[in-house]
Chains A and B, each alone.
Chain A
């Protein structure tokens, strides 16, 4: 440590004020009245993600060229990034701070690119052995069940995965067309999940038919139900059983199963959700003229915006504010659909304005096929004797999906009603984590209210405006020619440049600004973190101002 120098004469002094020895004797930390400290927040994207993907972290790892660790960061909360990177409604982008600066980061493109790398690098998968004795039953091989099985198997629980169909995937396989999610890719995703741990698959085994919940509850330490929605909702319209009136989901199932379909020249799809978009676009691929009829307006459509845009590009017509009133068909002639014109009334419980009939205004359309895609319903009848349901959906008592029976959990659409893949994945994971804690007798971790940041907390001087990078796509004409996947992922350069746009909101990404700018050299740069040296930090807070991402907070000393 340096010692204080006292000059006896000007002759001992340098010509001008300059440092001639170190000042470590002077503990300037005692001058401080405000203390900076590293305080990482939760990025808004992660907060918005139903399964809380650590988006900031995996994008940071991409910028470090560490794709394997980026993939690991992803599968901590989502075992199928290749799937969600393709089909998710990406609420992360809606909340991306960069949206308030130029354009949101293309998070799904990064997610799918890294997810696909995981599939191409089987060595990245660490296969867990059956280290636990408690067996778990997971019912339903869709996103919720696959997710739950994955996170339990990773912990060493032997999992038996029951699936009513003859292949796993659920909605992913039967409900999403291949131009969005190719079957062979889905097969690889499922294979990667099954390889991660001791999972036994029993396909062709339906609950209530081949096995009962009663028996499973007795034989297994815990049961997870993720059977999804299995019934198409009826329109409640006169004549909806007529030939030429088809369930949209059934049509998609045929298409995804490789069956040849021919819905005819003129097709109407009733509904405004993702199923309606998928049905309409598949029908376009069969050469039909397709009109989507929706009872509200485009603003209220529950479908993913990108899907609506793609449908428009592919020549799907939209007719808003109309609902079928009656359907008739005489012999082999066209299906006559009478539509009631609607108008928007007061908001309903979903916050969207409720459609109400606009007087007695109607119009008629002659079509070859009318598809219904107004939503699906659950069928909770098979469970009703064992756990509480409302007949259609299972009732759970906490966010982990615990049902009225403590060892039976449920998640996904069968609990929430029609929702999303990522929400099902989240439900499966949360149930798995709770089951693990329950069986290993761990207490519930304390949940802190997450703190996040917004654009006001970003020092935008450090960022150059740059547009979002888009993934490559095939042209619309080519897309309409078949079921080839429309979009591809990023190559290495785009992946890096898009990831470099990330603000890394509220989380340190080792930019060195605090270390560089600290006028008192009071920031220590360690192997993978920085540390304040409070013996010398004067509390000037230059670090706080120059941190581009608000990863440093302050508090008054003595409080």
Chain B
């Protein structure tokens, strides 16, 4: 059934379609509507799940950890400060190998207080062992939630689905809403290999000596590596069944491009319009959206970018003391394999609009800029 709904509600419908059994969350702008609708669904019986209201995001994710350890499909949503408050349990969910799905609505971190989008909240969880998938449309968001559960339960790692505050969370688009009955053959009920079970008691999360800890970490990385194939295959299976696939990365007019803009989130959609405009003027330019950030798609990124003459990465985030985070990641994907110049641009922090004009200025600057660029390129900052 197609409906015009906001991005946040696309998340809620994705959760509903996934037959989630336990939801625990704490409200925070701009995420609140996700769990608001979910709690209504639970109350009305549209979704047969236990909704656990808690007093903080730390408790919300902790409740999810408990529920997931008990062997049920579990979801939470948060944003910015809330995600940061969860940080301890973000690590825990990975170490405990719990297939929790979390939606983070990208919101700038305070202070200064902000409710608008940038990616520093989710990217600060980069090294925790969660898979991260960045979406650019409401439809993609709903569909990615469903995929995320299947991926998580296959590789036994949690998945974070990330959407931009307001540009996606509060923007209304047509979404083909999937029903649980349609999804069930794709995503059967969760069958955990191990669970907290009073008839078969074990304690979990115990002390591991230096003789075991190393191996348990190794196994997490192995799972992360194995998830590359799983992410790709789940997306393909989804596409086969529902007619929509999103890829690990999404290249646009990159085949013969001299210049490629690397983007993520909603900026990707805007960039495509700029590409079309500049292509019309004869500039051989393309764009690459990075959808799956963890595990980082080294090969896919290399395959697309290695043929370009110049690459420009647009980052809606900043790693203080280094550079934009996608920029670092892209550089490391190409390191030692090609000499294509890579330039980094910081834009749109704290929700500042990244308009076609802004993207075009980045493209033009990138075409003219020399490599290597010693300084960070701040786009639109009032100096």
A residues sitting closer than 8 Å to B (CB atoms) are 6-7, 9-10, 13-20
Contacts and interface: CB of A to CB of B under 8 A. Distances in A.
B95 A16 contact: yes
Interface string B212-243: 10011011000000000000000000000000
A15 B206 CA distance: 12
B193 A15 contact: yes
B113 interface: no
A13 B212 contact: yes
B212 A7 contact: yes
Contacts of B218: 10
Contacts, number: 45
A9 to B, nearest CB: 8
B-side interface size class: 10 to 19
B188 interface: no
A6 B209 CA distance: 11
A16 B205 contact: yes
Given A7-B215, A10-B215, A10-B219, A17 B204 contact: yes
A6 B156 CA distance: 25
Contacts of A9: 215
A17 B156 contact: no
B216 A13 contact: yes
Contacts of A19: 202-204, 206
A20 to B, nearest CB: 7
B381 interface: no
Contacts of A16: 95-97, 194, 204-205, 216
Contacts of B216: 10, 13, 16-17
- Most-contacted residue by chain B among A9, A14, A20 (CB, 10 A): A14
Contacts of B204: 16-19
Given A10-B218, A10-B219, A20-B202, A15 B212 contact: no
A15 B194 contact: yes
Contacts of A15: 97, 156, 193-194, 219
Given A16-B95, A16-B97, A17-B204, 13 more contacts: A7-B211, A9-B215, A10-B219, A13-B212, A13-B216, A15-B193, A16-B194, A16-B216, A17-B206, A17-B208, A18-B204, A19-B206, A20-B202
A20 B203 CA distance: 8
14 contacts: A6-B211, A7-B215, A9-B215, A10-B215, A10-B219, A13-B216, A15-B193, A16-B96, A16-B205, A17-B208, A18-B202, A18-B204, A18-B206, A19-B203
Nearest to A15: B97
Nearest to A6: B211
A7 B214 CA distance: 12
Contacts of A10: 215-216, 218-219
Contact of B207 (A7, A13, A17): A17
A18 B193 contact: no
Contacts of A20: 202
Contacts of A14: 194
B202 A13 contact: no
A128 B51 CA distance: 67
A16 B194 CA distance: 10
Given A10-B218, A10-B219, A17 B202 contact: no
A17 B194 contact: no
Nearest to B214: A10
Nearest to A13: B215
Nearest to A9: B215
Nearest to B207: A17
A116 B318 CA distance: 81
Contacts of A6: 211
Those 4 A-B pairs whose CB atoms lie nearest each other, nearest first: A10-B215, A19-B203, A16-B97, A19-B202
A7 B209 CA distance: 12
B193 A17 contact: no
Nearest to A16: B97
Interface string B142-167: 00000000000000100000000000
